[in-house]
Amino acid sequence: MRNFTKVFILTSVLIVLFVRCNSDKEIYFNRPGWLQPPIYQVLQKEDRFKNYLKCVDRTLYATAMKSSGLFTVFAPNDEAFKTFLQSRNYSTVADIPDSLVNQIVGYSIVYNEYTYNHLTDVLRAGWDSLSSIKKKTAYYETIHKENYLGNSVWVYDMSSFLTGDQNYKYLPFYLSPVFERSRSHAEAADDYGIFYNTPYTGNNVQSASIISKDLLAENGVAHEVDQVLEPLPTIEKLLNDPDYSAFRALINKTGTTGDPYFKTYLYSKALTDYFRQAMPTKNIDQVYLKYYSGLAVSINSEGSGEQGGFTLFAPNNKAVQKFYDEKLKMFYPNGMETVPGDVMSYFINAQMIGELVWPGDYKGSMNSWGDFFNGKGAKGDAFNKTNFNKIVPASNGFFYGSDNYVKSRHFETVFTEILLNPTYNLFSTAFTTYFNSTLKEELLKCELNGYTQENYTVLLPSDDLLKADGFSWSWISGSNTYGFLNSNSAANLGSFDVAARMQRLVRSHIFKRLKNEQVNCAITSFTTDPSFTSAYGGYSYAVNDFGDMIRYKDGKIQMLGNYDENDWVTATPYKTFLNGQVFKIDKLLQYSRRNSAPTEVEKYTSQALFVYLQNMAAANTNISTFINYLTLCLKGSGSNDLAGISADMMLTLFIPNNAAMTKAVKNGDLPTYALVSTGDAAARLKATKFILYHIINGKEYVDDGLTYIMPNREVITEEVAPTLLKDIVDNTYLAISKDASGRLIVSTKAQHTGRNLSTSIKSVPITRIRSNYFGPKAVLHEINDYFIYSKVK
């Protein structure tokens, strides 16, 4: 009995303690009286969101709205729903289809809590102020069916290269702290008004306005809006408009295997397993991720985040046909579907950019290739709404539909003919192989991308001409790649460099010039410049991109090799583009005696410089003394090689005439020829220095009649150039300029930082009529005076 009593008492104490502990715990975890109710109850209490909450109750979002979490809700009031129901001919919200209800509610919910003052901030580790223009909502589109390789497959639009990221829709804001940061209120209203018919208030969410903000709740915050908002379509979905079917067809272009050029379908086992469980009644066998791999913009992706977006200036069917007729039909007469995918990518990507182009910024905005959308940048037209027939915001950017297409450098420059015309496939391939990021990009410069003074003249070597020269584009065994071969590069030519020859030929047929309001040296024809009729027997002169001199008259051109063989290249004007002109030619410009040289090696090799010096002296005995000294000091016995001069040098020789040489000897600046001939070391060294100081290394300075130095990308009136004479280890220098008639002037007056130049000041013009002689990577001029280098004391 005593033991029972003890047990009873102990049990009673434990029961009391247990009850008390539970009571204390309940008190501790009771909902604080100061805590706001969940968003659902907050809106319910406001009593003006009845229709919205009826929609919420029909979705799975209701649980989240009534419980814990962190959300921001943009809740349309009952007046907004009244307008919406009338516009859709619904009597009550009960008439709205479930699918649309799910879109409206999901699109109104933004993840995380954003009070009004934080709507323009990005939430990372903390608040990044004034950089957000949209927020990620709870709504995303699920899988759908598309045709791929002839089969109907399940497709999921890829938001980014992170396959686990859902393609959530973003809700755009037009709030004054951000939207008016770089524009005035009036400018902001203009930009907003291009896309929406509703007034700009500075508190806009898509087409709606926030009319009551910061309705605080336990699980987030709600903002009252005056419109029912529906998810915006992607740019890709907007192209489903029949008026843009031709452009959509270009984007959907497939190759011979059936695979698309511009988009990728990637099978995902993880997504397949997920959607099989989520949608068991759909009989899902495979799910593919889809993204646009060949376009500058993945137009189906919502993955531009809170701070960016994409822009498409979509050409409608009329504009696409116009582009085909104007630019491609002559090369691909059997329809747009026959145009290669790489050519189409130039056109398609010219219509888009991976950023938002606001109407107010249109004038300075460029496409993905770096071309101005308006064609001229600041000098072009501002945005004009009447030029567009469809302007709508997309969930991932802006869509501007037009009867016109955005011009691209690929179809408006001298490179266009090289790119499109199959007659010049080998020429085009050479650019891609050797000059893809250099010379090719130069030939694409024009006013479309901000280069207003560049002008190019291109002579077009056809495939037939290059094949006749031995070239082919072939599979190179052992290298597992394609490359240029030359049928003459085998045993006949030993170490013949195919790539070097092709590169030189390409550059030999291109001339870089200037054309602006002050200067116009564009070569628009190869007829004689009247100012040279008497000076050089009717010939005009120019320097090509490689640096070699050419001469021309009456539409006929010669380079060194053509000159050697007394052969002429006929240049026929063909087409004019924004940045220059192209000519058809019947032969290649050559730097060697391609047809008449005695051996195969010599057919591809320029003759020695000494051969041309001898030829010049034979034609012009007035320079024989200098040639005699040069022969004595530089020429080796048994060959035409000259000491200190190699075949890879680009040279300009200023040759003093006989009178000038006599004067130099008389003044003691040059030893007598007889003394040098004796082998006197000091005399020979002094004579050698004299010769080398009259040879410029690095460039051919041609007497071309221009009053400035060419070829340059800007007007230069004087250029300092190194000579072959070394002062200890450093080059010495001369200055090159032009007189009023364009005649070359050579001077020791040059100033060059860090170099010791002659203390004498002497400017000497070349002697016209007896200058502009050809040499191998060289030009030879006569002058009527001489120069002496003297180190500054």
Residues 6+ apart with CB under 8 A from 573: 524, 525, 581, 583
Q: How confident is the model over 685-707, as a mean pLDDT? A: 95
Q: How confident is the model over 300-306, as a mean pLDDT? A: 84
User: What's the pLDDT tens digit per position in 15-43?
Assistant: 333 444 444 444 444 556 667 899 999 99
* Joined tokens for residue 501: 């020859």
* pLDDT value, residue 711: 66
Looking at residue 556, its amino acid is K
Helices and strands in the chain, H and E counts: 25, 34
Q: Distance between CA 477 and CA 479 in Å, rounded? A: 6
Q: Distance between CA 468 and CA 618 in Å, rounded? A: 34
Q: Phi/psi of residue 60, each to 5°?
A: -75, -10
Q: Distance between CA 2 and CA 8 in Å, rounded? A: 10
* pLDDT value, residue 27: 43
* Among 17-31, 449-463, 624-638, the least confident range: 17-31
Q: Phi/psi of residue 48, each to 5°?
A: -135, 20
* pLDDT value, residue 52: 98
Q: Phi/psi of residue 577, each to 5°?
A: -125, 180
Other C-beta atoms closer than 10 Å to the C-beta of 64 total 20
Q: What angle do CA 659, 660, 662 make, to 5 degrees?
A: 65
Q: Which residue has the tokens 């919406």?
A: 84
Among residues 444, 477, 546, which one has the least CA distance to residue 777? 546
User: What's the pLDDT tens digit per position in 731-751?
Assistant: 899 999 999 888 999 998 544
Residues 6+ apart with CB under 8 A from 460: 417, 418, 421, 423, 424, 427, 509, 574, 582, 583, 584, 585
* Among 22-36, 194-208, 291-305, 629-643, the least confident range: 22-36
* pLDDT value, residue 487: 77
Q: Is 0.85 topped by the overall pTM?
A: yes
Q: Distance between CA 341 and CA 263 in Å, rounded? A: 12
* pLDDT value, residue 303: 76
User: What's the pLDDT tens digit per position in 386-429?
Assistant: 999 999 999 999 999 999 999 999 999 999 999 999 999 999 99
* Joined tokens for residue 435: 């000059």
Counting every residue, how long is the chain?
Answer: 793
Residues 6+ apart with CB under 8 A from 343: 328, 419, 420
* Joined tokens for residue 12: 């009673």
User: What's the pLDDT tens digit per position in 635-673?
Assistant: 988 889 999 999 999 999 999 999 999 999 999 999 999
Q: Which residue has the tokens 């949209």?
A: 134
**DSSP string across 394-423:** ETTEEEEEESS----GGGTSTHHHHHH-GG
What is the 3 state secondary structure string of 532-551? Answer: HCCCCCCCEEEECCCCCEEE
User: What's the pLDDT tens digit per position in 110-165?
Assistant: 999 999 999 999 876 567 776 889 999 999 999 999 999 999 999 999 875 444 56
Among residues 528, 497, 513, 529, which one has the least CA distance to residue 647? 497
* pLDDT value, residue 731: 86
**DSSP string across 40-76:** HHHHHHHTS-HHHHHHHHTSTHHHHHHSSS-EEEEEE
Q: Phi/psi of residue 394, each to 5°?
A: -110, 165
- Residue 1 confidence (pLDDT) above 50: no
DSSP H/E element including 681: helix 681-692
- Residue 75 confidence (pLDDT) above 60: yes
* pLDDT value, residue 636: 84
* pLDDT value, residue 496: 64
What is the DSSP-derived secondary structure letter of residue 669?
A: S
Q: Distance between CA 294 and CA 311 in Å, rounded? A: 16
Looking at residue 623, its amino acid is I
Other C-beta atoms closer than 10 Å to the C-beta of 236 total 21
DSSP H/E element including 288: strand 287-291
Backbone dihedral region for residue 579 (phi beyond 0: left; psi -120 to 50: alpha; all else: beta): alpha
- Residue 343 confidence (pLDDT) above 80: yes
Cross-strand pairs, 122: 128
The beta strands (E) that lie in 640-772 are given as 651-656, 695-697, 718-727, 730-738, 744-747, 763-765
What is the 3 state secondary structure string of 289-358? Answer: EEECCCCCCCCCCCCCCCCCCEEEEEECHHHHHHHHHHHHCCCCCCCHHHCCHHHHHHHHHHCEECCCCC
Report residue 246's pLDDT band, with 50, 70 and 90 as the boundaries.
very high
The bridge status of strand 264-267 relative to strand 287-291 is antiparallel
Q: What is the mean pLDDT of the chain?
A: 90
End-to-end, the C-alpha distance of the chain in Å comes to 130
Q: Phi/psi of residue 742, each to 5°?
A: 90, 5
Looking at residue 129, its amino acid is S
* Among 308-312, 528-532, 753-757, the least confident range: 753-757
Q: Distance between CA 172 and CA 137 in Å, rounded? A: 10
Looking at residue 140, its amino acid is Y
Q: How confident is the model over 212-225, as a mean pLDDT? A: 97
Task: Classify burial at 598, counting beta carbons within 10 Å of its beta carbon; exposed 0-12, middle 13-18, buried 19 or more.
Answer: exposed
Looking at residue 638, its amino acid is G
